[in-house]
Structure 1
């Protein structure tokens, strides 16, 4: 009888494997429990795309401009308003001929039924093009133009990069979009959107 039979080798490998798995699971659980939960020192707002902080005073005519420093405090409702405006602007304003109006479906959860119907009408018309074109939009600045408890208008300053054709150099330009937002069930939804002329 050989000193190490196949059964003995398999049994030994199985025991070591089980010990290794138990040790790894224990290590992950202990490491997770030791990680402190960080609480923010003060309220700030984040640009969802760039992750830069900025200040927003929350009064009509106030401007949110992403910067590297944090500044004044503002209400949670106004933070939600700014975040909805940035999210809508960046998704709605970024598209390509290959995406088949995917940007419209990306904003369905943050728009009213009225705007959704308008976007469906645009989708129905379609765009036929043999040449690639695409636009990437980044929200840069948020200005609250008019505010009430259930309806507000705002302007978002954007940087847009447009590519036409495969070999062309992209064109970078700045464009504002005005938004009309309404509050429905404690959520700000975009009701109207209009790109401003360059």
Structure 2
């Protein structure tokens, strides 16, 4: 007998579908209840409000990307980490287009919607950690001396753009390798 998803996962899956179909603001807990088959009490048992549902979905999506980049280890060379991060994003994004789309929408919406303050803080912590890691690479003389927003755009911007336009049937390994090469070429010190 196939494994049934647990109630929390069913609620999250239904919330993701509702948020993508109706938009975050227009989705109600009743919509999520209807989509998941869970009771309202069950939803509130796991999540304090709609913002907490969105936050859990963001964390799940980021964890999926993180799992695709499991090869990244503390202290590894910048080239290997940057290539793994970009290729992981591309592979994850092609395999999980709904989660990728939701994550992209939440990045913009979290800055504007006070019910998503936890999501906005989560993104801010991630950006701070990534910026610190790039600064470490810069101090080690492995990457160009670029402001973090520029380095981020150069490394991940092409991958994000590719994923916005890609067909999920694309050859993920080939696209991931090409975009990882471009990311590294964009920030590496000349001659390395």
Structures share fold, TM-score greater than 0.5: no
Q: Which structure has more strand as a fraction of its residues? A: 1
TM-score (norm 2): 0.23
Q: Which structure has more helix as a fraction of its residues? A: 2
Larger Rg: 1
Higher relative contact order (CA 8 A, sep 6+): 2
TM-score (norm 1): 0.23
